[in-house]
Structure 1
Amino acid sequence: MKPLSQEAWGDIINPGSRMFIGSGAAVPFAVVESMLKEAGSFRDVELTHIHTIGEMPWVAKKYDGSLRTNTFFLTPSIQQAVAAGRADYTPCPLSDVPSLFGGHLLPVDVALIQVSPPDAQGYVSLGVSVDVVKAAVKAARVVVAQINPSMPNIGGLARISGRNIHYYLEADRPLPVIDWDVPNAAQLKAAEYASQLVEDGSTIQAGLGNTPQVVLSALKDHKHLGIHTGLFSDAMMELVQCGAVDNSMKHYHDGKVVCSTVLGSKRLYDFVDGNDGIEMQPSDWVSDVSRIEKNDRMVAIHGAYEVDLTGQVVRDSRGHRFYGGMGNTQDFIRGSAHSKHGRPLIVLTSMSDDGKSSRIVSGFKPGSGVNTGRGDVHYVVTEYGVARLRGRSIRERVLNMVEVAHPDHREKLLRDAHTWGWIPKFYNVTPTSMKDDASEVESRRVELKGHSFMFRPLHPSDTRGLQEFFYSHTQETVNMRYGHVKDRLTNESAYKLTSVDQAVDAAFALFDEHDHRQEICAVGRFYCDASGDSAEVAFVVGEKKRRMGMSRFLLGELASVAQQRGIKTLWASVLKRNKAMASVFQKLGAVKESELGEDSDDFLMDVGQLNKSLHRSS
């Protein structure tokens, strides 16, 4: 290593060279400032980098002809330069960048990096950014390093020998920090829904962006989580500190947080400094699908700009304008999908940041590029719920995506779907939510008799599931529920039963979950009478799930909603031979009304008293 002098740049930079600048919080600004002082003498030098924090003085117009940037990630500082034609954007997954540097496509001549001070053996640490930096160091003809005492000293593959560095400049500067935006109500609700898809013992990864980071903050009550990620952030640090992450159930590099970049606050940088629990690896290693999938229950959490009704995802463009970059999204989406019980999640708010447009769309703006194809998208989550897309038809996808869109846009989305021929004409009821302001999460996991079930409202996208539920019944169950012989539930009939106006009536279900599939176990519903003071309730429970308290549980949920809406009385018509259902009502104080000659009894329940009885017995 030799000290860097201003005169040395004439030997370091040749005309037409390609120069790499370090990533994230590890941009060597002192070295860059020194380099820019000599930029007037450079000719057609290309600068390349991935995501960086802070100002990017090298894209200033005054350097045109001397320096031209070719970036793999568009921050706001460089978007304008690309739009003006003074800089370039190369779409490329992070896992592929190292091979570009080391091969013949984008060979690196000079690497400008930032490192910690050397130890007694002469080794330095790349600190918070190993990502593609290590590949650039290996490929470069000349490596120029800023030695910064403020750079965290992280071991493992973050360490390189000082012999790899040709010039150095000592400069003690605080690392730039990133302040995540304060989450809004929609992000918090979307995060709560997403957290329900993360099981204890999962290994998690989250992409760059505010919404994925909010999801991480919703996981603090989870247990035995692990981390295998590109970006290690403050939210992940907090999961480690609160005990939610212990990496004990990882199947690959257990006991360690595996990452390639650390980005966040000074508190985060202090946390990773000398921390043996942090294992830094290059991007091509971390994002290798064959490594990602080795962790069971791998969950990848990524944001999006828009998602269409069939599940296609746009992330790095808005029409003909480019934003952000490809990052490692596709690698982790596929790696988690290949993982045993893995789950790739796309999480976004239903409306754009300015509140003017829907992010769930029937078609993208011309020029928008699809980053993740519909076949790779398993879950889409908004503040209105979860769209489960894996293994589902276009018709089912469309219905589910309309359900998680903002209520103001559902009617138009449904109309567009009819226009494209994606759904039958009789699918004409605009889905409703219990509360259109998404003020409450409408699904939750419940325990009944030691078994876990998902509870949520019934939606039009459950049409096929309701048909399967119907055909699982014995004829006796069908007769009990419908009061007459019924041997068929058509698609149109099932759709009508699931297309409930949840703001007026109510239809709830308990689901058993098997991997990505939800199977209906029980349905409870009420239909409000014309007066608005009373409502008829009805239940059906699958034969294999009886004597678990499902009817009682669903009745409690219906009674709670009824009381909130000012409904005074719930009533049910029960066949005389349906002793089990009659017993449920009678134990809760229902008044039985019978008429001679009728084969059914009516049970009347005062909603206020019913809620008190259910509360006392819970």
Structure 2
Amino acid sequence: MAPDWRTRCQGKLTTLKRAISEIKRGEHLYLSDGSATPHGLIQGLMADDVQLGDNEIVHMLTLGPAPYVQPQYASRFRHNALFIGANVREAVTEGRADYTPVFLSEIPGLIRSGRIRVDVALVSLAPPDAEGYCSFGTHVDCAIAATSVARLVIGQINPRMPRTFGPGRIHVDRVHHLVEFEHPLPELPTPKIRPETETIARHVAELIPDGATLQMGIGGIPDQVLRFLRDRKDLGIHTEMFSDGVVDLVERGVVTCNRKNFNPGKIVAGFVLGSQKTYDWMHENKLVEMHPVDYTNDPFNIAQNDNMHAINTCLQVDLTGQVCSDSIGTSFYSGIGGQVDFIRGAARSKGGKAIIALPSTALDGVVSRIVPRLDEGAGVVTTRGDVHWIVTEYGAVNLHGMNVRERAMALITIAHPKFRPWLLAEAKRNKFIYSDQLEPPIYAPVYPKALEARTHTKDGLELFLRPVRPTDERQMHDLFYTLSSETVHQRFFAAKKYMWHDNLQRFCTIDYDRDMTLVATIRKGATEIIIAWASYNLDARTEFAEAAFVVADVYQNRGIGTILMRRLTAIAEARQIRGFTATVLVSNPRMLRVFEKCGYPIQREREGDIYLLSIPFEESTRELWEANATR
């Protein structure tokens, strides 16, 4: 029988008091963090008889008590947070502790170079294996770098720490003292799930295809997204951290990592924050590889995975696309972490998406998180040049490649409706948008996502039908200038040469009730292109709506106009509109045939070279139309 690890390592095992006594005054101490926070060693640091003073403690996010930041220990310890957690936030805010803003991927290199000095590494470890190696368990992140440069390495052996695979281990020969201290691993508190969080998570999930590789940042939104991915296939994980939601998807067969290009077949992470169930699941699980964060968060490594989808959150976004994630005004709140690492990596991934998700408001709806400008003192974590997708409970917009005017309009459309007039006014004042930009409708301002639909023409062309958005102005502009002079004349009854902003915005800024515009789009690569639209405008006096449509010349005679008009008719019926009116040139029989196929008989009256059409939505006339259509 092999000897117990305690027997094999008895020369390293010592008491807590003896191990801590080796630390010198003024030295810089590194603490392993998160679920690997070494609370036994922390107790030793706080003992009354410890001869320490003017020591710096540096770590990332820790869980559980952090007594070393209390005012009574100010002469003993100065704290330096690389990421601010709830247990040290007050101390940082009051100036009793420091905060170092830094990309997570760069921390190991800064430790090795001495820019972040580590004299003593206090780390949590799993019990040694037969070869004398101790796993760093749930947190590899910066532990390899810290233990490689430290003068003194003190390892807390916790039998509850899972043994994990990957490079995250240290031989007992490199550890100066081992202290056995068993305690439950700190668990990540379950965040309160608000209704808007689930809506945001649904919007994000819609952006994620089968076979995607995921990164989830810290927060309730990223973890909630996983709940809405249970119908996906062959997802992969390459992330700085993961939590309980990943385990659920593995057990459901959703996460397989089989389509990953980089570390295929493996979940790759730097640390894990979750429940004890997740920590137990990790133990000697060959699916999981734990790596240091200069590996997991290296944008080059991240980009090696096709369809890399990075999901992070933030505190504020301004109308130009600047993202604040680490501070509320001048008060530091969290940290830079790995957000920028993964945004840049995902942006360079083939088919990848960099996603920032946030609620539209804070303080129970009192303030908007989408703002004209960031609060004074707020830090820009993700620049306006790096930002791609922004998601709130009101929708998702891709800002990448948009000019400032388009960005401002896009972000206003996903802001909380009650703040949209204010945001529009501020955007005008700052000259971000046109001074004559129409106000968003107040009485029905929410984009009707339920009206979106996917369909295809008889010859197999896939179409996405959706209501128009104010951000479609550029696309509608481009569609107009593809139209032949004949198509323009048939739609506008004049030789219209230009489509200026003041005309276009009336098609794009609508209330989705009395006015409706549906667009038909196709995809060319990652770009959505509008190829047709159909609209109605309600006459409140008659309760009939004037309808019209246009299809790009190269897509005509494929049934697209008919598809749009039937969909538009169904929407108008649901809104209890009495019927459609339309004006059609006598020389345009194709447009006339489209109206004839909308589902109701047409009443027509000729005036010169035009037909005036009336299409009442009456059940008796629908039955007559259906009878004639089957003859």
What residue number does 2:117 align with?
107
CA distance in 2, matches of 1:473, 1:480: 11
Aligned partners of 1:559 and 1:611 also within 8 Å? no
1:362 CA drift (Å): 0.3
1:230 CA drift (Å): 0.4
CA distance in 2, matches of 1:77, 1:6: 24
CA distance in 2, matches of 1:600, 1:336: 54
- Report sequence identity in percent: 35
What is the DSSP-based 3-state SS (H/G/I as helix, E as strand, rest coil) of the residue aligned with 1:117? Answer: coil
1:403 CA drift (Å): 1.0
What residue number does 2:552 align with?
542
Aligned partners of 1:435 and 1:503 also within 8 Å? no
CA distance in 1, matches of 2:181, 2:20: 21
CA distance in 2, matches of 1:134, 1:557: 60
Structure 1 pair 609–285 and aligned structure 2 pair: CA distance change class (3 A): farther
CA distance in 2, matches of 1:200, 1:504: 38
Length-normalised TM-score, structure 2: 0.91
CA distance in 1, matches of 2:196, 2:508: 25
What residue number does 1:421 align with?
431
Structure 1 pair 183–85 and aligned structure 2 pair: CA distance change class (3 A): same
Q: CA RMSD in A?
A: 2.4
What residue number does 2:241 align with?
231
What residue number does 1:165 align with?
175
CA distance in 1, matches of 2:618, 2:216: 45
What is the aligned counterpart of 1:132 among 117, 142, 151?
142
1:15 CA drift (Å): 1.0
Aligned partners of 1:40 and 1:66 also within 8 Å? no
Q: More displaced, 499-508 or 547-556?
A: 547-556
CA distance in 2, matches of 1:611, 1:315: 56
CA distance in 1, matches of 2:47, 2:605: 98
Q: More displaced, 350-359 or 558-567?
A: 558-567
CA distance in 2, matches of 1:460, 1:12: 66
Aligned partners of 1:292 and 1:298 also within 8 Å? yes
Q: Deviations over 1:45-101 (max 9, x none)?
A: 111110111221222222110111111111122111112222111111111111222
What residue number does 1:334 align with?
344
User: Are 2:19 and 1:19 aligned?
Assistant: no
Aligned partners of 1:465 and 1:519 also within 8 Å? yes
What residue number does 2:368 align with?
358
What residue number does 2:224 align with?
214
Aligned partners of 1:576 and 1:601 also within 8 Å? no
What residue number does 2:583 align with?
573
CA distance in 2, matches of 1:7, 1:219: 49
CA distance in 2, matches of 1:12, 1:609: 93
What is the DSSP-based 3-state SS (H/G/I as helix, E as strand, rest coil) of the residue aligned with 2:88? Answer: helix
Aligned partners of 1:191 and 1:211 also within 8 Å? yes
Q: Give the total of aligned pairs.
A: 613
1:539 CA drift (Å): 1.9
What is the aligned counterpart of 1:526 among 536, 558, 561?
536
What residue number does 1:121 align with?
131
Structure 1 pair 324–296 and aligned structure 2 pair: CA distance change class (3 A): same
CA distance in 1, matches of 2:551, 2:416: 32
CA distance in 2, matches of 1:10, 1:567: 79
1:469 CA drift (Å): 0.7
Q: Deviations over 1:166-220 (max 9, x none)?
A: 2122233221211332432222222222223223222211211112222232222
Q: More displaced, 595-604 or 115-124?
A: 595-604
1:551 CA drift (Å): 3.4
1:356 CA drift (Å): 0.6
What is the aligned counterpart of 2:568 among 558, 565, 571?
558
User: Are 2:452 and 1:441 aligned?
Assistant: no
User: Are 2:618 and 1:604 aligned?
Assistant: no
Which amino acid letter does the alignment assign opposite residue 301 of structure 1?
Answer: I
Q: Deviations over 1:292-343 (max 9, x none)?
A: 1111221111111000000000111111100011101111111111122221
Q: Deviations over 1:341-395 (max 9, x none)?
A: 2211111111114211001100122111111110111121111112221111111
1:607 CA drift (Å): 6.7
Aligned partners of 1:145 and 1:165 also within 8 Å? yes
What residue number does 1:36 align with?
46
CA distance in 2, matches of 1:141, 1:324: 30
Which amino acid letter does the alignment assign opposite residue 471 of structure 1?
Answer: Y
Matches within 5 A, 1:575-594: 575-594=585-604
What is the DSSP-based 3-state SS (H/G/I as helix, E as strand, rest coil) of the residue aligned with 2:167? Answer: helix
Structure 1 pair 219–265 and aligned structure 2 pair: CA distance change class (3 A): same
What residue number does 2:162 align with?
152
Structure 1 pair 490–610 and aligned structure 2 pair: CA distance change class (3 A): farther
CA distance in 2, matches of 1:188, 1:215: 8
CA distance in 1, matches of 2:543, 2:269: 58
Structure 1 pair 254–281 and aligned structure 2 pair: CA distance change class (3 A): same
What is the aligned counterpart of 2:215 among 200, 205, 222?
205
What is the DSSP-based 3-state SS (H/G/I as helix, E as strand, rest coil) of the residue aligned with 1:144? Answer: strand
Aligned partners of 2:445 and 2:511 also within 8 Å? no
CA distance in 1, matches of 2:474, 2:453: 22
Which amino acid letter does the alignment assign opposite residue 368 of structure 1?
Answer: A
Aligned partners of 2:565 and 2:594 also within 8 Å? no
Structure 1 pair 306–593 and aligned structure 2 pair: CA distance change class (3 A): same
Aligned partners of 1:94 and 1:132 also within 8 Å? no
What is the DSSP-based 3-state SS (H/G/I as helix, E as strand, rest coil) of the residue aligned with 1:472? Answer: coil
CA distance in 1, matches of 2:20, 2:126: 26
What is the aligned counterpart of 2:383 among 368, 373, 378?
373
Structure 1 pair 538–122 and aligned structure 2 pair: CA distance change class (3 A): same
1:523 CA drift (Å): 1.2
1:535 CA drift (Å): 1.7
CA distance in 1, matches of 2:245, 2:556: 42
Q: Deviations over 1:432-474 (max 9, x none)?
A: 69564x7x63575614145544433212221111010111122
What is the DSSP-based 3-state SS (H/G/I as helix, E as strand, rest coil) of the residue aligned with 1:285? Answer: helix
What is the aligned counterpart of 1:252 among 259, 262, 265?
262
Aligned partners of 1:390 and 1:516 also within 8 Å? no
What residue number does 1:53 align with?
63
Structure 1 pair 456–393 and aligned structure 2 pair: CA distance change class (3 A): same
CA distance in 1, matches of 2:553, 2:228: 36
User: Are 2:483 and 1:482 aligned?
Assistant: no
What residue number does 1:143 align with?
153
CA distance in 2, matches of 1:588, 1:609: 15
What residue number does 1:307 align with?
317
Structure 2, unpaired ranges of 5+: 1-8
Structure 1 pair 522–610 and aligned structure 2 pair: CA distance change class (3 A): farther
What residue number does 2:18 align with?
8
CA distance in 1, matches of 2:419, 2:383: 23
Aligned partners of 1:457 and 1:508 also within 8 Å? yes
Structure 1 pair 34–596 and aligned structure 2 pair: CA distance change class (3 A): closer
CA distance in 1, matches of 2:82, 2:141: 13
Structure 1 pair 379–93 and aligned structure 2 pair: CA distance change class (3 A): same
CA distance in 1, matches of 2:37, 2:371: 38
What residue number does 1:85 align with?
95
What is the aligned counterpart of 1:496 among 502, 506, 514?
506
What residue number does 2:527 align with?
517
Q: Deviations over 1:420-440 (max 9, x none)?
A: 11222111322669564x7x6
